[in-house]
């Protein structure tokens, strides 16, 4: 009887484990956030080598084929853990609702607020992406963070105008609930990466209370960005309203810089970015300066699109530069 039970038990365990989805292997990168593949002999090759070679002299890149693994240095878990988080539905669409996650700063006085927009090509991602930076700012700098979930391309009726309206709706929600959230609505900041940098930048340009914007590898001119103009993905083309020039212009941060107060901007980009050309950041910086804006443009030679996350050895450097910039300008 014991043998039968043991066999049955093992069968159940085997079946359950077989039904578990295979854990996705972690992507290997070099310190520039370029993706690598491991060869059978233990050496490494550069994925997308031909694409990199079109914009970089790869012979001049040190440690090109050396894997990089992030190790904590200055940033420690206790620096940001323990922050109170509140979630709210801030808007609804047909078939779905959208939430903000608010990382509460402890303060007797109303605090500044920063809105965070995640990346993901306007089609994927969630508002957990900027949890570490948001909670660090809340705990160490007394700045409340609002992490926004916005409409994504696969959702019913979503397009770039809808996603922008979501960001602005989140801002309005915070204005309307500033008292209960202990927020000073006259001091707002915006942060985003890639597609999220695009949406956060539009939010900053269209929010009179915006004091600061920080963008990582952002898309700021949809009329020229390859990720928009050269895409053959039908869903992305539809998301950009079949690339209607007027809609793209109105949705491009570089085209809607306000004539009055311009938020201070800190822009990070890498010259080895094969997803979004780094000249997008340069052009946005130029547009901001023409309107009298203060711009801190940080260009990293050889670094790829994800230079601000753990795939890159510049992650902590960029993290703390962002903290200092936001704190100084809010």
141-180 pLDDT tens trace: 999 999 999 999 999 999 999 999 999 999 999 999 999 9
pLDDT at 132: 98
pLDDT at 4: 40
Q: Stretch 200-223: mean pLDDT, rounded?
A: 98
Task: With cut-offs at 50, 70 and 90, classify the pLDDT of residue 260.
Answer: confident
Q: Stretch 183-189: mean pLDDT, rounded?
A: 98
- In this predicted structure, the answer to whether residue 244 has a pLDDT above a threshold of 60 is yes
Tell me the β-bridge partners of 115. 146, 190
Mean pLDDT lowest among 8-17, 204-213, 223-232, 255-264 = 8-17
Mean pLDDT lowest among 3-12, 182-191, 280-289 = 3-12
Q: Stretch 79-84: mean pLDDT, rounded?
A: 97
Q: Stretch 80-105: mean pLDDT, rounded?
A: 97
- In this predicted structure, the answer to whether residue 212 has a pLDDT above a threshold of 90 is yes
pLDDT at 23: 56
pLDDT at 12: 37
Q: Stretch 223-251: mean pLDDT, rounded?
A: 98
Q: What is the mean pLDDT of the chain?
A: 93
Compute the distance between CA of residue 175 and CA of residue 166 in angstroms, rounded to an integer.
14
Task: With cut-offs at 50, 70 and 90, classify the pLDDT of residue 26.
Answer: confident
Q: Stretch 252-260: mean pLDDT, rounded?
A: 95
- In this predicted structure, the answer to whether residue 257 has a pLDDT above a threshold of 60 is yes
Residue 26 or 165, more confident:
165
Burial group, residue 44, by CB count within 10 angstroms (0-12, 13-18, 19+): middle
Q: Stretch 297-320: mean pLDDT, rounded?
A: 98
pLDDT cut 90: percent of the chain above it: 92
pLDDT at 24: 61
- In this predicted structure, the answer to whether residue 90 has a pLDDT above a threshold of 50 is yes
Residue 104 or 3, more confident:
104
Mean pLDDT lowest among 7-16, 134-143, 299-308 = 7-16
> Which pair of tokens denotes residue 207?
């929010």
pTM for the whole structure: 0.92
């Amino acid at each position: 009887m014991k043998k039968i039970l043991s066999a049955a038990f093992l069968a159940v365990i085997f079946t359950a484990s077989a039904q578990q989805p295979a854990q996705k292997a972690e992507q290997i990168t070099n310190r520039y956030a370029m993706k690598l593949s491991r060869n059978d002999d233990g050496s490494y090759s550069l994925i997308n080598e031909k694409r990199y070679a079109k914009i970089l002299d790869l012979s001049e890149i040190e440690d090109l084929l050396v894997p990089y693994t992030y190790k904590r240095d200055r940033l420690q878990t206790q620096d940001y853990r323990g922050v109170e988080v509140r979630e709210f539905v801030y808007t609804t669409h047909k078939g779905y609702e959208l939430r903000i996650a608010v990382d509460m700063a402890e303060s007797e006085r109303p605090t500044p607020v920063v809105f965070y927009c995640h990346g993901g090509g306007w089609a994927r991602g969630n508002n957990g992406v900027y949890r570490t930076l948001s909670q660090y700012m809340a705990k160490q700098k007394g700045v409340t963070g609002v992490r926004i979930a916005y409409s994504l391309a696969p959702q019913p009726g979503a397009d770039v105008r809808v996603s922008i309206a979501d960001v602005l709706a989140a801002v309005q929600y915070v204005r309307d609930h500033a008292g209960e959230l202990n927020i000073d609505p006259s001091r707002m900041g915006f942060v985003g990466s890639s597609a999220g940098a695009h949406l956060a930048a539009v939010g900053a340009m269209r929010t009179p209370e915006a004091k600061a914007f920080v963008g990582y590898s952002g898309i700021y001119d949809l009329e020229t960005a390859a990720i928009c103009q050269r895409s053959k993905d039908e869903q992305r083309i539809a998301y950009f309203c079949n690339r209607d020039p007027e809609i793209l212009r109105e949705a491009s941060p570089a085209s809607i810089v306000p004539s009055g107060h311009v938020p201070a901007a800190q822009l990070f980009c890498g010259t080895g970015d094969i997803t979004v050309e780094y000249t997008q950041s340069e052009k946005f910086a130029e547009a901001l300066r023409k309107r009298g804006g203060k711009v801190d443009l940080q260009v990293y030679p050889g670094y790829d699109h994800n230079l601000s996350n753990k795939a890159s050895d510049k992650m902590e450097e960029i993290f703390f530069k962002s903290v200092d910039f936001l704190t100084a300008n809010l």
